[in-house]
Structure 1
């Protein structure tokens, strides 16, 4: 088992006092702390984002099938089912973000996710109770009242998982998830007084969260109506910037945050809140303009011509709701969308954010399409379509350029890594192997070449009014699903509608050569040593770099925290230390981490599943105190605590997690955080470690994170093989010298080999180890074993504890677990040698009976030789 090395308290306290009175140190510490927090938030977004690709496929394909089929037919039902399966994911993004944020900050704790859902329901339930119907506006649209806010627009109210409340997009979900995570981290190990101990631990978390979201709900009720209107105005006005400038600025900001892993945090509001635009706001703005200058509007695109185009694309809807070429026709259309009882159309009206609006539009092409919204001033896809330009061909051509800068003698060896990275980028839009390679080797290539070119790609896509959505990245698969299929489903209309879907291909074809020549000359004349360019090697070990490599180069973990943290401290209260120590001892008495399969708890019991219950030391667990009994049934161990189990369970899980990581690595670990964990041996002092522990490579001595050490060791084993061959070859070429000078040392080495084998004695021969242990016990307790005190037949039903007092076992100080361990080993030796021995339950034997049983087995084994 690897040992934990822990820094002394004095060192950490000294480090903290050095910066105590210096403001620059405090500022630096603040930014060091905020980066991991924001990185975790960015990581939290990946869980719902990962769901969107499959949801998007079902949404797009389903809409295409349903729109092409006659209503109420089997094919129409099939397409509608697929469409709704995808649509429901986009429609419930707030609750998905709530759960994912809670899990991201609590190491994927399911209890935290459930708690976040409870908090989200409570917050929206409060708003629903205080929400009132206001006076309809001048167009007949309903408005709402909330606290002192009057006439809240209908677009700012929506149904959140069946509850009418504020339409906050994903913002409220993020805040509720953060609160749930904070409450979980603070209270999930809390032990309440005995009278109310049932509510201890994880059961306490949702109760506290229930009350914690009350002030948050009031904050949103007071501020969000103003914030929502402000974001809606920003989304609308930013779309009026000329020539795709809004898309250009977006990509400059988004791409600059990629190295820090914060780009998800940046684009989230633009994709999923009204900061990226709003369907209802777009229609309301159009309504205002039409009413203000009716005659002017009817001579322009938003007047008669707009209605003419719309009716041509949606004749069925126009016929149903009497949409004609006049103001009355427009009013009928407006009311048919804003006040439609259909849940689908209500979701369309409430849609906000670039990606969400595109998803809802694809689900309601019978009502509106991308071209209709474009003519009303809403350019959907402005924060997405530009990625196809540099992901389909731009970066793949950059990879090709980097490969061609490699010397010809090395090109064949490194061709695979460049071609595979380029094809992956083209097919799926995953850019990490390419982007992080030049970001790692020459950051100026990323910020000076790639980022401006990516922004130009967005600028061109915005100028062409392209409307191609995506899930996460702009690869060929996403283009087929969100570009080609929607085109044939009627997502665009008009004579130039084709350009809205196929324009990204023109941008991609144009960006490809630009990327190629820019990177070829930049790498070649900038002397960037991309993989394979080093002429001193044959390129066999060349590889592209990843985000982990880039983070490690800058002294950071995956979450952005420092690899070596100065904030480490082991100053825990005596009570907390005692709890971890107790949890560690329980693991020890259960047979160690290798014997524990699962840890759980119910209302009054700690429930543990083990591999072998015969090595569980029930008496040892009971000796720790706090329990009123313990039961062992098969592989199930139940310890009755009555309430304390809720405090023991999370600490046991935490300890087991670290112990198993150490066991898996088999190397020493150095802590760099303050998450507490106890050592395996109960007598050792409780130590503090965390998941970001650093480990020493046994081959080179360098420090790496646990997650990265395996890859590093594989690389070391690969790179050492050629050098070993070269050394052997050199020795063979100098045979005369080796024979004379190294003859004696060689002989010494040969004599030391047997010694090395003896010291290695791989957990020594089990039979010999247990036999030696038995001899020592027999010699130590010769008198006790000789003084037989047989149990009377009338007392055969006594427990092992009662028999121990009668037969003298109380005087034997050896740990019961040790006796059971060696009895098991001897029994296994006999079984391996096909020697029949009496199979008994070791847990029901006294210590003296265990020794006698071991003597019997040992004698049987010896006599069988």
Structure 2
């Protein structure tokens, strides 16, 4: 019984990770909105487009992305979860979303007459049906139908509708069924989401700190993306990221508030721009003398990526599993950082992550508040991370990069800077047991996400020697290899070589 329960939990986590990976497809368009709106706010920081036609063009262009995140989630999740990443799956996601949101609009629900729309809570629930939750649900439904039916062959008389053309048709019927169910359950789900949002926002600064803590704790299993959607988008009534970039301060009580909006983003800047580079310096300085040159190249690249772009996983995975106590400390410090920034009302926002680029772009946003104090906080966090990490590493003799036993790296291959991505992909395939051992090859921003026939044959030492920051094992056959920003390129080359 215990084994069965364990398998169920693993399968649920695996599926949740699949959704989390797919969420990165629509989220990846947010930097475009941040760049457009950020430049617009720099051009016209007081009028928000009212004093400059160019600023208005840019701000409204970025707002077009933010305003339509719901349908982008439907399209992106359907595409990201489809087996072959085909546009037909994205179209099916769009069809599913449109049918559900049309049938569950207040006018449609009232006209159908199955559910009484009498009280204000029910009216509000159906008025807010165009949201990211329904977008994600639509994408999941479409992806599952696509993966099941995209190769189905119908009778010759109906052959035109075979395969991928069949999927949107089936999705429209599935959307009708889903709409019928949601007609009764959506008000309950919506009420629960709103209650959760009100609970977290009711905790104020402490709620921001708790979010930051759990955000980092979920990184190892890749479920932080799902948590982020609750706080950053209009998922539970919080919509921190959406409100920050829309910046419609004072239009109504549900819109942006200077010094408050951005509280679930601002505290990440001191950690990603300063704290983690401080940790990287501590890891370098505590490495064995003979390993310092190797560790320096890893820490310098990972630290710069964290500071400049906010991509932290290459650095975090370098100590996450070899020294888990450090990672727990990192999660605690992240929570403290978000608490401090929220309590002091120092706010800034991002479209991708809390790096230098996004800080500059958000500086002129009308609801950014004393954003420069996040730099001062960051300098303090640099010192805290450096001294805490150095003290703990030395005190407990932790096996951080460069301090491992010599034999740990024996037999590991090394990746030369001159080799092509294809050559690197071939080496990764070899370390993973060959192309025939892989049934699924995928990637998100920083990770290879793989399903293997036999995971016991992988060579972890070689993977790390090739540049992998970490290896995460999930269930019996799933594997994640942390590579950094080049993960998607390497995955593409591996697919081409393996013919998958």
TM-score by length of 2: 0.78
Larger radius of gyration: 1
- 1:491 matched to which residue of 2? 367
2:436 is the alignment partner of 1:475: no
- Distance between the aligned counterparts of 1:415 and 1:673, measured in 2? 35
**Would you say the 8 A contact 1:402–1:519 is kept in 2?**
yes
**Would you say the 8 A contact 1:695–1:704 is kept in 2?**
no
- 1:89 matched to which residue of 2? 65
Deviation at 1:80, TM superposition (A): 0.9
- 1:443 matched to which residue of 2? 324
- 2:451 matched to which residue of 1? 692
- Distance between the aligned counterparts of 1:478 and 1:541, measured in 2? 41
Deviation at 1:132, TM superposition (A): 7.5
Deviations, residues 150-169 of structure 1 (Å, cap 9, x unaligned): 244699479xxxxxx54352
- 1:310 matched to which residue of 2? none
- 2:301 matched to which residue of 1? 420
- 1:509 matched to which residue of 2? 379
2:344 is the alignment partner of 1:464: yes
Deviation at 1:507, TM superposition (A): 2.2
**Alignment counterpart, residue 523 of structure 1, candidates 363, 368, 393:** 393
- 2:246 matched to which residue of 1? 360
- 1:634 matched to which residue of 2? none
For structure 1, the residue ranges without an aligned partner over 5 or more in a row are 1-22, 135-144, 159-164, 278-352, 545-660, 676-689, 716-865
Taking structure 1 as reference, are residues 87 and 172 closer, same or farther at Cα in structure 2, changes over 3 Å only?
Answer: same
- Distance between the aligned counterparts of 2:55 and 2:125, measured in 1? 29
- 1:113 matched to which residue of 2? 90
Taking structure 1 as reference, are residues 218 and 359 closer, same or farther at Cα in structure 2, changes over 3 Å only?
Answer: farther
2:111 is the alignment partner of 1:148: no
**Would you say the 8 A contact 1:55–1:86 is kept in 2?**
yes
Deviation at 1:714, TM superposition (A): 6.2
Deviations, residues 227-273 of structure 1 (Å, cap 9, x unaligned): 3344334433432325x111111122221111011111112122112
Taking structure 1 as reference, are residues 40 and 133 closer, same or farther at Cα in structure 2, changes over 3 Å only?
Answer: closer
- Distance between the aligned counterparts of 1:470 and 1:71, measured in 2? 20
Deviation at 1:673, TM superposition (A): 5.9
**Would you say the 8 A contact 1:63–1:80 is kept in 2?**
no
- Distance between the aligned counterparts of 2:305 and 2:147, measured in 1? 39
Deviation at 1:534, TM superposition (A): 5.1
Deviations, residues 528-550 of structure 1 (Å, cap 9, x unaligned): 2333335859x999999xxxxxx
Deviation at 1:451, TM superposition (A): 1.3
- 1:703 matched to which residue of 2? 458
Deviation at 1:94, TM superposition (A): 1.0
Deviation at 1:669, TM superposition (A): 5.2
- 1:268 matched to which residue of 2? 229
- 2:171 matched to which residue of 1? 209
**Would you say the 8 A contact 2:440–2:450 is kept in 1?**
no
- 2:207 matched to which residue of 1? 246
SS where residue 311 of structure 2 aligns? coil
Taking structure 1 as reference, are residues 61 and 369 closer, same or farther at Cα in structure 2, changes over 3 Å only?
Answer: farther
Larger relative contact order (C-alpha < 8 A, sep ≥ 6)? 2
Deviation at 1:222, TM superposition (A): 2.5
**Would you say the 8 A contact 1:392–1:425 is kept in 2?**
yes
- Distance between the aligned counterparts of 1:70 and 1:249, measured in 2? 33
**Alignment counterpart, residue 389 of structure 1, candidates 258, 270, 277:** 270
Taking structure 1 as reference, are residues 412 and 28 closer, same or farther at Cα in structure 2, changes over 3 Å only?
Answer: closer
**Would you say the 8 A contact 2:257–2:367 is kept in 1?**
no
SS where residue 171 of structure 1 aligns? helix
Deviation at 1:457, TM superposition (A): 0.8
Taking structure 1 as reference, are residues 542 and 468 closer, same or farther at Cα in structure 2, changes over 3 Å only?
Answer: farther
Taking structure 1 as reference, are residues 72 and 712 closer, same or farther at Cα in structure 2, changes over 3 Å only?
Answer: closer
- 2:35 matched to which residue of 1? 57
Taking structure 1 as reference, are residues 460 and 515 closer, same or farther at Cα in structure 2, changes over 3 Å only?
Answer: same
- Distance between the aligned counterparts of 1:518 and 1:38, measured in 2? 33
**Would you say the 8 A contact 1:668–1:695 is kept in 2?**
no
- Distance between the aligned counterparts of 1:387 and 1:180, measured in 2? 34
**Alignment counterpart, residue 123 of structure 1, candidates 100, 105, 110:** 100
**Would you say the 8 A contact 1:464–1:503 is kept in 2?**
no
Deviations, residues 476-513 of structure 1 (Å, cap 9, x unaligned): 1111111x222xxx436xxxx53xx2332232122111
- Distance between the aligned counterparts of 2:404 and 2:327, measured in 1? 21
Deviation at 1:527, TM superposition (A): 1.5
Taking structure 1 as reference, are residues 193 and 167 closer, same or farther at Cα in structure 2, changes over 3 Å only?
Answer: closer
SS where residue 59 of structure 1 aligns? helix
Deviation at 1:174, TM superposition (A): 1.0
Taking structure 1 as reference, are residues 154 and 66 closer, same or farther at Cα in structure 2, changes over 3 Å only?
Answer: farther
**Would you say the 8 A contact 2:273–2:378 is kept in 1?**
yes
- Distance between the aligned counterparts of 1:39 and 1:239, measured in 2? 26
- Distance between the aligned counterparts of 1:85 and 1:201, measured in 2? 36
Deviations, residues 740-787 of structure 1 (Å, cap 9, x unaligned): xxxxxxxxxxxxxxxxxxxxxxxxxxxxxxxxxxxxxxxxxxxxxxxx
Taking structure 1 as reference, are residues 702 and 237 closer, same or farther at Cα in structure 2, changes over 3 Å only?
Answer: closer
2:133 is the alignment partner of 1:171: yes
SS where residue 692 of structure 1 aligns? strand
**Would you say the 8 A contact 2:41–2:364 is kept in 1?**
no
Taking structure 1 as reference, are residues 183 and 220 closer, same or farther at Cα in structure 2, changes over 3 Å only?
Answer: same
- Distance between the aligned counterparts of 2:276 and 2:108, measured in 1? 51
- 1:141 matched to which residue of 2? none
- 1:259 matched to which residue of 2? 220
